[in-house]
Amino acid sequence: MRLDYLTIFPEFFDVLGISLLGKAVDNGIVDIHAHDLRTWTHDRHRTVDDTPCGGGAGMVMKPDPWGEAFDDLLGADPDPSVHVVIPTPSGTPFRQDDAAQLSHADRIVFCCGRYEGIDHRVIDYASEHWSVHELSLGDYVLNGGEVAALAMTEAIVRLVPGVLGNPESLSEESYSQDQEGLLEYPVYTRPASWRGWDVPEVLMSGHHGHIAQWRREQSRELTRRRRPDLLTDE
């Protein structure tokens, strides 16, 4: 899997060189390239923004640098196997299913906007050539797409075979299919008693059936309380 990041702050993505993702890069499972969008500017000030047509506050990212970056990185031939991800507050919510689908992609290009956003013709152009995903991290607004791209990257890449040491851990996480899309149950480790708080007895019983039942009940109760929207049978 090759991941490209178009951004005016490429150093944001230096962090991808550490921890699990760093190992995935070292193992050749993932190939990461961060690009400074100003590479594709030609004026003395390396300008990437301009005033919004129709007025309004702030600045809008000019289309030209994006178009030239696409030309260099992707060429002009349409290829639906290339996924262009545009983090934006106006996008569809990024969910675990999106991470799962994108984890099968061979190529993902993250377009990280700043200011008031990217000239919409860039999205129109990209949509004619590649598979475009305008995705929101949540119902809040960041200052740009970089932090969202990092979060989405981790959610996607950790699902790629060979990236996580123990793939079994994926099956018991919140939102995983094995968890029936429910929130993950509470987890405990040693010591059995800590500052007056004890590990639930059932987890110390060694009775796998009872433990599995307790965990299912905990997941459903937690989901009912915190995310009733995830419950499909109520």
Ligand X SMILES: OB(O)c1ccc2cc[nH]c2c1
Q: Considering beta carbons, is residue 87 or 181 the nearer one to ligand X? A: 87
- 77 annotated as a binding-site residue: no
Residue 83: alpha-carbon gap to chain centroid:
13
Q: Which amino acid is at 145?
A: G
Output the smallest distance, CB 118 to ligand X, in A: 7
163-171 long-range Cβ contacts below 8 angstroms, 24+ apart: 163/20, 163/21, 163/23, 163/24, 163/29, 163/30, 164/20
Q: Considering beta carbons, is residue 1 or 148 the nearer one to ligand X? A: 148
Q: Which amino acid is at 6?
A: L
- 113 annotated as a binding-site residue: yes
- 142 annotated as a binding-site residue: yes
- 64 annotated as a binding-site residue: no
The correct pick among 113, 181, 182, 185 for binding ligand X (CB under 6 A) is 113
Output the smallest distance, CB 138 to ligand X, in A: 8
- 141 annotated as a binding-site residue: yes
Q: Hey, which residues does 197 pair with through a beta bridge?
A: 194
- 185 annotated as a binding-site residue: no
Max CA separation in the chain (angstroms): 71
Tell me which residues in 123-182 interact with ligand X (CB under 6 A). 136-137, 141-145, 148
Number of residues this chain uses to bind ligand X (CB under 6 A): 14
Binding mask 67-106 for ligand X (x = CB under 6 A): --------------------xxx-----------------
In the numeric block, which tokens belong to residue 58?
Answer: 């702030």
Torsion of the alpha carbons at 79, 137, 98 and 84, rounded to the nearest 10: 0
Q: CA angle, 177 as apex, 103 and 199 as ends, to 5°?
A: 115
b/e burial code for range 127-159 (CB count within 10 A of at least 16 → b): eebbbbbbbbbeeeeeebbbebbbbbbbbbbbb
Binding mask 9-48 for ligand X (x = CB under 6 A): ----------------------------------------
Output the smallest distance, CB 142 to ligand X, in A: 4
Output the smallest distance, CB 71 to ligand X, in A: 22
Q: Which residues are annotated as a binding site for S-adenosyl-L-methionine?
A: 113, 137-142
Q: Which residues are annotated as a binding site?
A: 113, 137-142
